[in-house]
Amino acid sequence: MYLFSVEGGDGSGKGLATKIVSDVLEREFSFSSVEITGEPRRDHALGRLAIDSVRKKTMTPEQEAGLFAADRLDHSHGWILPRLLEGKAVVSERNIHSSLVYQGIVGDVGVDRVAHMNSAALIPDLCIWIDCDPGVAMKRISSETLRGVSNKSEYFETTDLQKRIREGYANLLSGDLEMPTPFDMGAILGPISNEGSQDQLRRFITDGIRSFLHGKPPPINVEKELVDQFQIRSMVRLSRGQSKLSGLGIEPAKSKTDWLDGNPPWKVLKMAQLAHEKVLSSASDEERQHMPKNILNHSMSSICGTLSLVHTADISELRSAMGPVRCVSERHTQRTVKFLKDHSGWISQHKSLIGRDAPRSQLKEENFPFGRLVLAIWPFRREIRKWQTANPGTHPRFCMGQLVKSERFESATHDSIARLSILGSGRGGIDTPQNPDSLVDWWTGK
């Protein structure tokens, strides 16, 4: 879903930083996977042409920039974009900012000209800028290990050149030069000095990534809704192959056709809300401080919805199945699961094997309709809550009709219809909604 780039001069430690970024993303966040790549691509014909053009010095900087741009465009749309749409994080050692610095600034082609050549390329959501003194960098470049891997000493052999590259990054990424459109949309993290210990470098990178992702920025290159639909579709396909595990107490998944249990969607939502309100009213003031206030809030909706897809999971598996759009922090996941087990009674827990295995949570059959429903109406969650607050005395069956017919939520309407095409209508023999009017009819149970 997000494209991370790692930038800096040669020998600055980009390879180590790329590994650290990947480790942090895999350990702490709910991407379907984390993929590492780099530019120019040494295993691709276009990338090798770009590398050779620099090594042999037979082309002008503008011609070199054209080759790097060709490799980047193919890489962006043929390799990176499909992975972002699948909810993956991609970490690229070098990306567009390298061309802006090396050819645009150092090669005097101009950042605007280089940006124009790359205007159809993907934009890094976060550029992580690793800085290093050129003298230290040159020692790394000339070391036997680095020379044996990259042969960088053949064409980036002077400290003077490294100084110009470092100055170019400083001018571009610190804001002294205006970042050209459209690459001014991405965030910059840095400069992060790599002249101390690896622990220091790891700490700076980790803190920066946490700060960026905890802010839940919208991804630049893909739509979050399409990413979540892909995640749901994948989980639905996977669940079709699941069967009862004998002796473990796991019941077979509820019918995917009649998941509404014969009730209209508004009624499923209302019954779930009444049950939740009853639990809250019987809790102490201290207990209520740690309880979800509304079943349509992010953590409650995500956990119930995700459990309706995976049926049984420990905390780690549950967070992984949420995907990057519905992700909830580990702490909030644990807290909400505990509430749903100990207070609401909406989930049951068991250990799959004797030993120290983490307990596995399963959404109870009677709460399965709400879990699937909240996935279907996910795009409308905030608007339904606002509508309920503004219309406390109005029957909830009128909610969807008023929202849809206001014509202010065309995107949410389209997205919910798309989700229902994946999940099914929830009523056996009833077609899924195809337009706004049929979505309203589905909500009311017509």
- Write down the mean pLDDT value for the chain: 89
Q: Is 360:315 a contact under the CB 8 Å cutoff?
A: no
Distance, CA of 205 to CA of 370 (rounded, Å) = 40
Distance, CA of 419 to CA of 425 (rounded, Å) = 10
Mean pLDDT of 231-255: 62
> Where exactly does CATH 3.40.50.300 map onto the chain?
3-222
Cα 169 to chain centroid, rounded: 27
What is the four-CA torsion angle of 243, 247, 250, 256, rounded to 10 degrees? 30
pLDDT at 249: 45
pLDDT at 130: 96
**Residue 255 pLDDT > 70:** no
Comparing 235-244, 255-264, 328-337, which segment has the lowest mean pLDDT? 235-244
**Residue 159 pLDDT > 80:** no
Distance, CA of 91 to CA of 350 (rounded, Å) = 37
Q: What phi and psi values does residue 130 have, to the nearest 5 degrees?
A: -95, 125
The hierarchical CATH code for the domain 3-222 is 3.40.50.300
Q: What is the pTM of this model?
A: 0.87
With CA atoms as reference, report the closest residue to 340 among 316, 315, 376, 321: 315
Q: Is 73:40 a contact under the CB 8 Å cutoff?
A: no
Cα 224 to chain centroid, rounded: 8
With CA atoms as reference, report the closest residue to 67 among 50, 45, 48: 50
Tens of pLDDT, residues 433-444: 999 999 999 999
